[in-house]
Amino acid sequence: MTGPLIEAPSRTLDLVGRHPGMVVAGHVSRRAGRSGALWGLIFGFFIVVQTHAYTSTYKTQASRDQLAHAYASNIAVNALIGSERGINTVAGWVDWRFAGILGLLGCIWGLLTSTRLMRGEEEAGRYDLLLAGQTTRRRAAGQAVAGLGAGLLALFVLTALGTIVTGRSASVAFSTSQCLLLSVTLVSGAAMFLAIGALASQVANTRRRAASMSGVIFGIAYALRMVADTNPGLHWLVWLSPLGWIEESQPLTGPNLVAFFLMLVLVMAVTAVTLRLAGTRDLGAATLHEPGSSKPHLALLGSPAGLAARLMRPVAIGWLCAVAAFAVLIGTTAEPATKDATGSQGIEQAIGRLGGHGSAVADYLGLTFLMLALLVALVAAGQITAIRAEEADGYLENLLVRPLHRTYWFAGRLGLSTLLVAVAGIVGGLGAWAGAASQHSGTRFGSLVTAGLNVAPPGLFVLGLGALVIGAWSRRTSAVVYGYLAWSFLVELAGGVVPTNHWLLDTSVFFHMVPSPAAPPDWSSAAVMTGVGVLGAVLGGLLLWRRDLKNA
């Protein structure tokens, strides 16, 4: 007679979760939800502020007709944001403006979020642990997609809140169902590129590669939509691009169900393929085979500074391209936009508050360079989080156990970041000049390059602030730096629309930037911002030298 070799435990185990098989969904939804909520707030705020600006700036039908006439003939604007259809009404303007801008932003948010939370987490090895639990690869991918859905829901809810608040205004008067349909349109780009990013995360073996792959798809979709909107004979191409579907959906002026249907089919089909691929590949591997070896390329690997330059090269090139593209966009739109704004009390008030007193085009560029300043400050914030990540991921330790003083390393790293911020500013100025010159706006080369340099000091201030936080409170670096940037930008935007307390405005780094080229740069103010940044960097370096090295 044989008995059991191991006796069953006499005690029962405590149940610590009702759905242990859903841990991946919980993990992804928490992180995607936070990000979606933040961007939902920005979307909602943008909708409220911009719609208010439209209705208060273009109060009469005549001024709205003039605006529509100007944009109707502007090929550049049609190419960049999408072709306008009846922007002489609030509904038409909202359809065009927000689908064109927030639709694009949603796409970028979607691809970055899904590649970060799917391939990024897998690359970091965190999925190994989660997949060892009560789930399979396919189920885990399904849960991750559901988690991304939670992020999309957060984005939708807060965007819808913004549209409903806007819609209740007497000068706007949208019904709740219209607001909800508009919100669906505005987050549809996010939904499609969340799905595309999730698929790319199965196909590519690194987060960077997955994001690049999704970015290429985004670029092709954008190019197709641009060609379709600039050449009437090729307008059918709009139906080949997900961005074209967003444009064609027209939620307020004439909802196009075909466009909505195509977006839904894309999301469902791509998600199905994602789940199928997730179940057929190894964890950590990708569907596309990539050689795991190569000949050594020793360029820039002679020193820690060279290594930093090599590692930041792809990101820096990406940012510089983004800054250049955005600058060309604002340069191109300056001339037609100011045709309508000339004599507008609202625009003049905004420029006046910021101290501008140049030509109409220069005034417009002065305002829009605020967005360029935000972009350059984001470059700085990205550098700061990358510096912190080197410490948190344990890579820095490999260098600091060799004959290298940590303050020298820190100074070298910040020096490279400063160079990148300055170059980003100059590239921004050059791009804006190129765009403006293509429209024969007459804006001088020197003034726009100077204006580009003028957006660098806020970025340098952010670098200094980030360096200080790395020294003093390293584990909160990302939250503090991005939080401060979001605060600064929102305070500055709010200050441009409604009267705001001066002390509050002073907390925004962008408030201290003169809107060049609308006004000549205030170099003393720029020097103060740069000086405070340098002081922060020095203090941060000292604190870093005095403290323990900390991994994540």
Partner 1 sequence: MATPAIRIEGLYKRYGKAEALHDLHLEISQGEVVGYLGPNGAGKTTTIRLLLGLARPSAGRAEIFGLDCQRRTVEAHRRLAYVPGEANLWPSLTGAETLHLLGRSQGRVDVAYRDELIERFDLDPSKKVRAYSKGNRQKILLVAALMTRPDLLMLDEPTSGLDPLMEQAFRHSVVEARQAGQTVFLSSHILSEVEALCDRVGILRQGRLVEMGALAEMRHLSALTVEATFEGMPPDLAGVSGVVRTVVDGHHVHLEVQGPMEPLVNALAGTGVRELLSREPSLEELFLAHYGPDGAAPVSSGAPMAGGDRR
CB of 534 to partner 1, least distance (A): 24
Smallest separation (angstroms) from partner 1 to the CB of 9: 19
Q: Which residue has the tokens 């009702």?
A: 18
Return all residues near 465 (Cβ < 8 A) that are at least 6 apart.
480, 481, 484, 533, 536
By C-beta, is 315 or 497 nearer to partner 1?
315
Buried-state track 18-49, b at ≥16 Cβ within 10 A, e below 16: eeeebbbbbbbbebbbebbbbbbbbbbbbbbb
**Secondary structure string (H, E, C) spanning 161-220:** HHHHHHHCCCCCCCCHHHHHHHHHHHHHHHHHHHHHHHHHHHHCCCHHHHHHHHHHHHHH
Q: How far apart are CB 480 and partner 1 at their closest, in Å?
A: 22
- Tokens linked to 366: 């002065």
Provide, rounded to whole angstroms, the least separation between the CB of residue 466 and partner 1. Answer: 22
Task: Compare residues 205 and 508 and give the one whose CB is closer to partner 1.
Answer: 205
CB of 131 to partner 1, least distance (A): 18
What tokens does 2 get?
A: 């044989």
Measured from the CB atom, is 223 or 399 closer to partner 1? 399
CB of 410 to partner 1, least distance (A): 14
Kindly report the three-state secondary structure assignment for every residue of 56-103: HHCCCHHHHHHHHHHHHCCHHHHHHHCCCCCCCCHHHHHHHHHHHHHH
Residue 287 or 345 with smaller CB distance to partner 1: 287
Instruction: Report, in Å, the least distance between residue 306 CB and partner 1.
Output: 8
- Beta carbon nearer to partner 1, 65 or 128: 128
Shortest CB 297 distance to partner 1, Å: 7
As given in the structure block, the two tokens for residue 186 are 């505005």
The binding site for partner 1 (CB under 8 A) comprises: 123, 205-206, 292-298, 301-304, 307, 311, 393-395, 397-405, 546-549
The string of DSSP letters for 245-265 reads HHHHH-TTT---HHHHHHHHH
Q: Least separation, in Å, of the C-beta of 551 and partner 1?
A: 8
> What are 213's two structure tokens?
């792959």
* Minimum CB distance to partner 1 smaller for 304 or for 515: 304
13 or 298: CB nearest partner 1: 298
| Closer residue to partner 1, CB minimum distance, 264 or 404 | 404
Q: How far apart are CA 279 and CA 276, in angstroms?
A: 5
What single letter denotes the amino acid at residue 326? F
The C-alpha torsion from 476 through 482 and 483 to 487, rounded to 10°, is: 160
Other beta carbons within 10 Å of 368: 21
d(CA 106, CA 464): 30
- Residues 150, 153, 156, CA angle at the centre, nearest 5°? 155
Taking the least distance from each CB to partner 1, the nearer of 232 and 292 is 292
Q: What is the Cα–Cα distance from 37 to 175, expressed in whole angstroms?
A: 24
Shortest reach from residue 232's CB to partner 1, in Å: 46
Tell me how far apart the alpha carbons of residues 455 and 290 are, in angstroms, rounded to a whole number: 40
Instruction: Copy the structure tokens of residue 364.
Output: 């417009």
Nearer to partner 1, 17 or 403 (CB): 403
**Residue 225 token pair:** 């939509």
What is the nearest approach in angstroms of partner 1 to the Cβ of residue 400? 6
Q: Can you tell me the distance from the alpha carbon of 63 to that of 374, in angstroms, rounded to the nearest whole number? A: 30
**Which lies closer to partner 1 via its Cβ, residue 314 or residue 352?**
314
